[in-house]
A and B are shown apart, each in its own frame.
Chain A
Amino acid sequence: MFERFSDDTRKILGFAMEEARYSGDKRLGTDHLLLGALHDPGPAGILGVTLDQARAAAAALDRTALASIGIDTQGFERVTMPSRGKKPPFSSGARSVMEGMLRYAMDRKSRQITTANLLLSLLDREEHDPAAALLNKLGVDRAEVRRRALSS
């Protein structure tokens, strides 16, 4: 599958890996794929969200959740994470997103897997998914974004 990725899509996967490391996560999740996609002005424009906004929204979700168990991290500044060590493996949700984007490419009889295919697959994530939680927090209108991604 990876050889069919467009250059843009391949770059996004690299950024997603960096996002996973940057947050200190042990798995590359669907939320990291979303953050990775936002490194690219194409998907960022379609989503109508900036990378900084999405990172801030993810941090806000963490802060609220930690506050609910009595831990106040207000004002905690992110530290630079080491770039060495194991590459985080894909979460099962992230693997599903990979399969979904392949299906979207096949539906369009496209030889290449594009960033629009990735976005559409991310938009399919349902409740209890980290990317879906992030999209909700950001107030993204999924139907509208889907329409824009399909016509891109």
Chain B
Amino acid sequence: MRQPRLTGMETDDLSAQIHSLDPAIGLRAVGALHRLAEQVEAAQVRAARHHGWTWEQIGDALGVSRQSVHAKYRE
């Protein structure tokens, strides 16, 4: 995935753009962000375990409890 461009003038343009979005697109974008976050989380939790992170460290990094991350991702 390429980096989102969120710098300088483009930030102002983007803010204006987000406020003027059709809700059908804007709400879909929110749903898509949640889905994307879940996908990135799944990939990164796996990577962190591979690198020897404990469930507690991963939970703290994600701002959730050790138990919830373990229940969701244990093999």
Binding site for B on A (CB under 8 A): 23-26, 61-66, 68-76, 78-82, 84-85, 128, 133
Contact = CB atoms under 8 A, between A and B. Distances in A.
B48 interface: no
Interface residues of chain A: helix, strand, loop or mixed (majority): loop
Given A65-B28, A68-B17, A81-B39, 12 more contacts: A66-B29, A68-B25, A68-B26, A69-B18, A75-B2, A76-B36, A79-B40, A79-B43, A84-B71, A84-B73, A85-B71, A133-B24
Interface residues of B, number: 32
Contact of A24 (B21, B25, B29, B35): B35
Interface in B1-16: 1-6, 10, 14
Interface of B: 1-6, 10, 14, 17-18, 21, 24-26, 28-29, 31-40, 42-43, 71-74
A66 B36 contact: yes
